[in-house]
């Protein structure tokens, strides 16, 4: 069985990613799917490439008028509003962990009779995510951490004022190496969750820059903390999702250590509003246009960066990688109540029942 997939434009500022690239859309069309792609004023991949692949083209933000049986595919959240949502949507909803506004968003689905198949909930029988931007989130997160550290060494406050996207990873690495070269010393980095997709990306970035990377995972955090060793690294990249049972890695007492060397924390998981936040020293996410929170303004400063769409720094590579992972799952969308999609549907129903 096949289905109609409607790829919507993203409304989030600086969000240039897309969940389905033209080559994979072409494969879906060859398999009998209908693929409609909205024009976008910011997507990294030109609309002409989709047209060449055989996709139908629609106006930007026209998804509310999509056919009732279409699956509306996006990456980040929908535009804010009170309108009921009658369609079946596929995107990262960020509403299943009691994040601010979760009841309102799920209420819109309840009112319209629509469904959210959260991309984070597309898992196999063992609960492992089948498609994730994790590698590129970690890679970009470590790059932002390095940028923040460089800005601190240059005496800037705020350490950086903006983050932008790059055409490819080579351009990003070249810029960072050029900025590190004149400095007197190199930073050190500790990555928690180093064995996962996200942690692997962060570690790869650090090693490509010649930074010493300490790789922590479950074995290193099994004690439950505290973890004073973290204070002896220049940068800490958190690649562990906020969830019940995750220990606090860096709390208000930890950063008062007199021998603290830690000056940059990148929280790639970026769940400051969650009660499970393992870094409870900040309370809001940061953005491309406001990327840093200064937590301590001392001789050794402490900055936190927590951007919730880091892979958009490398939107083309991140989109191609994610689309490659997601397409086999989309191929089964003709039966949206079975297997992968059935599990995601059960998650939606479970959380919707709470409102």
- Encoded tokens for 69: 């049986």
How far is 141 from 202, CA to CA, in rounded Å? Answer: 7
- Alpha helices by DSSP H, listed for the chain, are 22-30, 47-53, 102-112, 134-153, 169-180, 197-208, 218-221, 315-330, 339-352
Angle between helices 339-352 and 102-112 (to 10 degrees): 110
Handedness of CA 324, 331, 51, 137 (dihedral sign): negative
Residue appearing with tokens 């919707």: 352
202 close to 139: Cβ distance less than 8 angstroms: yes
- Which letter, b or e, does each residue of 15-43 get, where b requires 16 or more Cβ atoms within 10 Å of its Cβ? bbbbbbbbebbbbbbeeebbbbbbebebb
Can you state the percent helix, strand and coil of the chain, rounding each to 5? 35, 15, 50
- Encoded tokens for 248: 């606090």
Distances (CA, A) of 341 to 76, 123, 338: 19, 9, 6
- Mark whether 349 is an active-site residue: no
Candidate list 94, 147, 316, 351, residue with the active-site label: 94
How far is 31 from 18, CA to CA, in rounded Å? Answer: 21
How far is 351 from 346, CA to CA, in rounded Å? Answer: 9
- Mark whether 76 is an active-site residue: yes
Name the residue among 51, 49, 22, 31 with its Cα closest to residue 330. Answer: 31
Query: Which residues are the active-site residues?
Result: 76, 94
């Amino acid at each position: 069985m096949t289905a109609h997939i409607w790829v919507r434009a993203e409304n989030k500022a600086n969000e240039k990613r897309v969940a389905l690239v033209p080559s994979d859309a072409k494969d879906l069309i060859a398999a009998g799917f209908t693929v409609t792609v909205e024009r976008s004023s910011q997507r990294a991949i030109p609309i002409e490439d989709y047209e060449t692949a055989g996709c139908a083209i629609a106006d930007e933000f026209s998804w509310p008028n999509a056919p009732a049986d279409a699956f509306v595919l996006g990456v980040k959240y929908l535009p804010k509003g009170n309108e009921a949502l009658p369609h079946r949507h596929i995107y990262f909803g960020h509403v299943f962990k009691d994040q601010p506004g979760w009841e309102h968003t799920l209420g819109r689905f309840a009112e319209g009779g629509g469904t959210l198949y959260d991309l984070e909930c597309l898992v196999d029988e063992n609960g492992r995510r089948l498609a994730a931007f994790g590698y590129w989130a970690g890679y970009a997160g470590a790059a932002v951490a390095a940028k923040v550290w460089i800005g601190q060494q240059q005496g800037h406050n705020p350490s950086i004022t903006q983050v932008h996207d790059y055409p490819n990873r080579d351009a990003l690495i070249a810029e960072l190496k050029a900025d590190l070269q004149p400095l007197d010393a190199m930073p050190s980095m500790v990555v928690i969750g180093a064995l996962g997709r996200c942690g692997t990306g962060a570690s790869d970035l650090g090693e490509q820059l010649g930074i010493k990377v300490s790789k922590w995972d479950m074995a290193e955090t099994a004690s439950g903390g505290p973890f004073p060793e973290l204070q002896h690294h220049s940068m800490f990249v958190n690649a562990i999702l906020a969830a019940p049972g995750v220990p606090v890695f860096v709390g208000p007492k930890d950063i008062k250590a007199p021998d603290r060397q830690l000056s940059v924390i990148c929280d790639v998981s970026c769940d400051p509003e969650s009660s499970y936040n393992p870094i409870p020293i900040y309370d809001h996410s940061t953005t491309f246009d406001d990327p840093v929170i200064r937590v301590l303004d001392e001789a050794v400063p402490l900055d936190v960066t927590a951007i919730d769409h880091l892979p958009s720094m490398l939107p083309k590579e991140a989109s191609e990688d994610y689309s490659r992972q997601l397409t086999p799952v989309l191929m089964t969308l003709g039966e949206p109540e079975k297997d992968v999609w059935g599990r995601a549907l059960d998650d939606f129903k479970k959380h919707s029942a709470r409102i």
